[in-house]
Amino acid sequence: MTSDALRVGATRLSPVELRARVEAWPGAVGVGQLVPLRSSDPVETVVAALAVRARGGVPAIGDSRWSESHWSELEALVASASVPAQAAWATFSSGSTGAPRVILRDAASWSRSFPEVTRLMSLTPNDAVLLPSPLVSSLSMFSIAHVLDAGATIVLPTGSTVMAADCVEATVLHGTPSALDNVLDLIDAGARTRLRFALIGGASLDPALRARAGNAGIQVASYYGAAELSFVAVDTDGVGLRAFAGVELDVRDGELWSRSAYAALGYLPGEIGSFRTDSDGWSTVGDLADISADGILTLRGRRDGAILTAGATVVPEDVEAVLRTLDGVKNSVVFGAPHPRLGSWVCAVIEPDDLSSPPTAATLRAACRDRLGVAQVPRRWYVSGDLPRTASGKVARSQIARDAQSERMPRLA
């Protein structure tokens, strides 16, 4: 049996030591209080989140990469919010400074899935689970709760990306396709590892990446889910996604709905997002899908055009609203372009105030960092003197995305 509950680089905390750190955490927390937390120290962040939970509060972990102004606005929103009595966990979903979203869930909505996730991983107390995603991610916070429940060891990277030293003692990986790709690159470069299994979510898994992991001796199960829904469907053998244990699936007018005990409670009061429920317990986040006669689920994108990038969901309208406030930008359209590791990456087309002197991509990126979350900042920028519009006068989103990706619109340097 492993002697550690948490490993981050040279820091190793046994279950007793982790418990002592949690009990000694100095913060004051009221029962049911929503508590915003953020630190560049992952050990400090985990200890604080567990301490808030132990005292009956609801931790909400922010991203240490967010600007101070962005975090201050989110912190103020969270600190003043009232939450349902049954709330136990809160995670930030993508949203602009003006419209942040906090997803609330009770403890059971995660813990009910623990036995099935443990079975998928064949997880035992001898295992060490590497969690490469930032702690702001619901994937990471779910995993921390799950791994501690299973009596295994949490392994967190020492930096923003996984390094060879992080892989040495890990036996299981829970992360995104991009994280798996990075780990396989390290293995190819000579990194030592005991990895035997990878549970991959957050974006579609390329069959070639699954095969590459298999060649490295790593068994892979991929899954589809959402921060609001948790686990929805799983693919254990590369044949296709099927309903996760305890989940019912239905397609209504092309839109995927699921019913399970894993769904979140909802957003903070007054917040509006893609998560919808009906009176019979069915939920959706607006993903389009087909289900074959033999139960294989095929995803077709988002009805609202949301972009799934490296495990984060980015709503184009949220980003566009911020871009339109930037100096030199008259209008904008945001879309997702396919990316082999991230699923998609965020791209933006701007209509500048002055086509002869548009802002540079570097200027736009710098301005966005103070107003948007990390995942929301566009990776590629294009410029159009007059955004194409439909007959009804709406911006022609599909045409704009096609024109940009086919380079019929110039890239901003």
User: What are 147-150's contacts with CB under 8 Å, separation 24+?
Assistant: 147/123, 148/5, 148/50, 149/111, 149/114, 150/114, 150/118, 150/123, 150/124, 150/125
Q: Domains in the chain, start-ordered, CATH in brackets?
A: 6-302 (3.40.50.12780), 315-405 (3.30.300.30)
Tell me if 86 sits within 8 A of 277, measured CB to CB: no
Tokens standing for 44?
């400090």
Q: Which of 125-129, 203-207, 286-290 has the highest mean pLDDT?
A: 125-129
Model pLDDT, residue 390: 61
Distance CA 137, CA 62 (A): 9
Tens-digit pLDDT profile for residues 147-156: 999 999 999 9
What is the H or E stretch that residue 109 is in?
A: helix 107-111
Task: Measure CA 162 to chain center.
Answer: 17
List Cβ neighbours of 194 (8 Å cut-off, separation of 6 or more).
128, 168, 169, 170, 171
Q: For 294-308, write each residue's pLDDT tens digit.
A: 999 998 777 767 888
Give the integer Cα–Cα distance in Å for 127 and 318: 40
Q: Phi first, then psi: give them for residue 159, nearest 5 degrees.
A: -130, -160
The span from the CA of 359 to the CA of 21, in Å, is 49
pLDDT at 365 over 50: yes
Looking at residue 98, its pLDDT comes to: 41
What's the pTM? 0.80
* Amino acid in position 265: L
Look at residue 100 in the predicted model and tell me its pLDDT. Answer: 55
